[in-house]
Chains A and B, each alone.
Chain A
Amino acid sequence: MPHDTSTNYGVAEGGAKVTLDGTKTILLVGVGGQGTILAGQLLAMVAADAGLDVKVSEIHGMSQRGGSVSTIVRVGEKVESMICDPGCADIVVAFESIEALRAQQFVREGGALFVNDERITPVPVNIGLAQMPEGVDAKLEAIGARMIDAGGIAREVGSPRSANVVLVGALSTALPFTVEEWQDAIRRRVPPKTIDANLQAFARGREAAEA
């Protein structure tokens, strides 16, 4: 199914465990089918379990067919809007490097940018109607992107489809939630058969971001 329709996850009780200074905005961008929605839901579960307010805005429908997609997650004591305007993202996680450049204006001053070191050629480039930009890596380096080889890591742990969870691992290093909280959310959210692979993917994503 292109989007999961049965995603009612209970939130663990226990009151506020984490406090944030203001609202944090995390923007996940990628290409339809890369798993940005699942990544956003994992983050939302962790934040909600930590007693924070959460809003997760997803784009469904036509753009899921291989088009540019984005998921916005906002967490804090009280979250108002679910939208991320330019200059308002504390963290951007790009699941694809061209999409990272496409989203660079959303990163706030001093914000973090994690980028999956993968390039998916858009169909207009393949058919000769557009060109891939030159010097993508240099441009990303110039804006302080942290490159993560999520696809490679996911293949190494034997679960090529877990690149999104590798990126969640990288993202987790920039947020004040514990490893156990993330692991707990992964166990509750991913298909049972894939739990171990996804936990490994998460751990390796953390290592890659901290390296």
Chain B
Amino acid sequence: MSKQLLSGNEAIAQGAWEAGVAVGVAYPGTPSTETLENFVTKPDVYAEWAPNEKVALEVGLGAAMGGVRSLVTMKHVGVNVAADPFMSAANTGVNAGLVLLAADDPSCYSSQNEQDSRYYAAFGRIPCLDPSDSQEAYEMAQKAFDVSEQFDTLVMLHETMRIAHTKTLVNVVGSRTAVNPRDYESRPEKFVMMPANAVRRTLAANDREDELVAWAEETDLNRVEMRDTKVGIICAGALYVHVREAMPDASVFKLGVTWPLPPKKLAAFAACVDKLYVVEEATPYLEQRVRAMGIELAEFPGGRLPRSGEVTPAHIRASFGLSDPEHLPVVEGLPPRPPAFCAGCPHRLVYVELKRIKAIVTGDIGCYTLGAVAPFRSVDSVIDMGASLSMAHGMELAGTPERTGRPVVGVIGDSTFAHSGITSLLGTVYNGGKGTLCILDNRTTAMTGTQGNPVNGVTLPEQAARVNPLDVPAGKQLDLVKLCEAIGVDEVEVVDAQDMLAIRAALKGATSHTDKLSVIIFKAPCRLIDRSRKPMPTITDCRRCGRCIQIGCPALGRDETGHAVIDPNQCIGCGQCAQACPFGCISKEA
């Protein structure tokens, strides 16, 4: 036993390892990513990145069906991608234990929405465990596998960003349960989801639901803490610790299992307190279920909690009519500091040129989403993984390029293309679609922290061994040119993403005709995997036109006279500014 300071994700990796989990599968996504990155470093496990969450869950289900405990992790919106196997797996059940970690992101710190994954658990009628700190995450990661096998069901382990990315102390046992692979026998009536079997499995799920409700009434994962009986609060996850912070005297029903809820135990708690409240964030998931049980909830004396975004102890205090501590006012008028492309980022010049041709850009999910913000403001849509390519096709069908006189360009990253872009491209080619699609191939999954992917060929174990994508032999990497050609794209071109004039020429060529489908692969490594630095350029006779500044490099600014200046701490010598200067005042030579 040792005491360790672990994030929720690290604690889940440790718990899963101790529970004898043999296989881990994931697609990276904030705030879930570090779980598998930690799990893969443990002895006697296998873990891999899947191209997307649907594949990840299917691999995990196969491994569990085949007889070993398996962990599948993803961010909340990844569960949408995995929803198809999810709903079937919810009916088939498992052989060895199978746990899906769904990591939600209330307040959208790094996501396109703040959906609550627990609705999926309720939808599939599978148990959902909800830890409030890393100790619980560690324990529940183990418990989840026992529950999975006891009730023959997929189990959701649910966390929010504050649990995933908060380090708290964990008493780590440190030894692994010896779990032998379960025998495999062919059970088509359980795993072949053709209609007759599916109907029977649904009936089995009905019975399982009853058993799970009975279990939820008894399990010590649901805990009643009686204090002052004037106020009773039902809560789960991070909200439990916020409630303890804000309302230390209140009685609390702490739900460790958020599907199914225990109706009798909740009713008994309701009967013990004068007024009962549900404290939760982002969605009314618990409130709706508690009300549906016929349990009466009180109105908050200080007004309802926020309907969206993270709920903090201050919100809870306010809803109970308690005042904030005195504090200085918020300073108004400060310049915003949104995220921006790094100095030397290979996405930058592509957006400089897309802006120049006033393209309508259907964008996608990744660092290159930042083309939507100033100074580029060149992205018209970002919806989900892969949507860039399919939506560009849809806009072409709508005749938008002709009616606006602007080219429509789909822009997608390499990992996102492997995730969901390939089928989009296939659909466009199959249906005779035309236009211009760009794959920004920076050789890594950058936004989530430079993970491996099929395009760069770095596997998760190799990533853990710190293999740089730039050192992977070409034969191990997905050949995007051959792939696009095989799909039947009319024109495929590879262009250096650090060469502004080449980018300009390629975009001009591809967007000037309407009878072909062109894919341009803009290729150059992300600065997070290529840390090489060249000498800083020098600026002489600056004309103060500001064109270099307008490429939005964080290393470029102006002095009091308007003269462009380079911050030596941030500059990596990429030379993008030198290419942007129309007067040749910025030399690439030191």
Contacts and interface: CB of A to CB of B under 8 A. Distances in A.
Interface of A: 1-3, 5-11, 13, 31-32, 41, 44-45, 48, 53-68, 79-83, 85-88, 98-99, 101-102, 104-109, 121-133, 139, 143, 160
Nearest to A47: B5
A82 B166 contact: yes
A83 B326 CA distance: 17
Contacts of B325: 86-88, 108-109
Contact of A54 (B5, B314, B550, B552): B5
A125 B556 CA distance: 11
Given A7-B10, A8-B38, A45-B5, A61 B337 contact: no
Contacts of A41: 5, 167
Given A62-B447, A123-B374, A10 B3 contact: yes
A87 B312 contact: no
* Of A5, A108, A121, A125, most B-chain CB atoms within 10 Å: A5
A211 to B, nearest CB: 25
Top 8 A-B pairs, shortest CB-CB distance: A61-B110, A87-B327, A87-B325, A85-B314, A67-B339, A130-B335, A61-B30, A81-B245
Nearest to B327: A87
Contacts of A108: 325, 327
B201 interface: no
B321 interface: no
A61 B109 contact: yes
B336 interface: yes
Interface of B: 2-7, 10, 14, 30-31, 33-34, 37-38, 41, 109-110, 133, 162, 165-169, 238, 241-242, 244-246, 248, 310, 312-314, 324-331, 333-342, 367, 369-370, 374-375, 447-450, 528, 546, 549-550, 552, 554, 556-558, 569
B104 to A, nearest CB: 13
* Of B162, B168, B326, B448, most A-chain CB atoms within 10 Å: B168
A67 B5 contact: no
A78 B37 CA distance: 30
Given A2-B450, A56-B166, A123-B340, 10 more contacts: A7-B7, A8-B38, A31-B337, A61-B31, A65-B341, A85-B314, A98-B334, A104-B328, A123-B554, A124-B335
Given A55-B167, A109-B325, A130-B336, A65 B342 contact: yes
A62 B409 CA distance: 24
Nearest to A131: B335
7 contacts: A60-B449, A80-B241, A101-B334, A109-B326, A122-B335, A128-B546, A129-B375
Given A67-B339, A107-B327, A107-B328, A81 B165 contact: no
A155 B162 CA distance: 35
A208 B149 CA distance: 59
A109 B326 CA distance: 7
Contact of B337 (A58, A82, A99): A99
Contacts of A6: 37-38, 41
Contacts of A11: 2-5, 169
A81 B7 CA distance: 14
A10 B449 CA distance: 24
B68 to A, nearest CB: 24
B172 to A, nearest CB: 8
A60 B30 contact: yes
A102 B557 contact: no
A45 B375 CA distance: 41
B3 A13 contact: yes
A8 to B, nearest CB: 6
Contacts of B5: 8-9, 11, 41, 44-45, 48, 54, 56
Contacts of B34: 3, 5
Nearest to B314: A85
A178 B516 CA distance: 70
B169 A61 contact: no
Contact of A66 (B37, B449, B554): B554
A54 B334 contact: no
A2 to B, nearest CB: 5
A5 B133 CA distance: 18
A9 B313 CA distance: 29
B552 to A, nearest CB: 5
B205 to A, nearest CB: 35
Given A5-B38, A7-B10, A128-B546, A55 B133 contact: yes
Contacts of B450: 1-2
A82 B569 contact: no
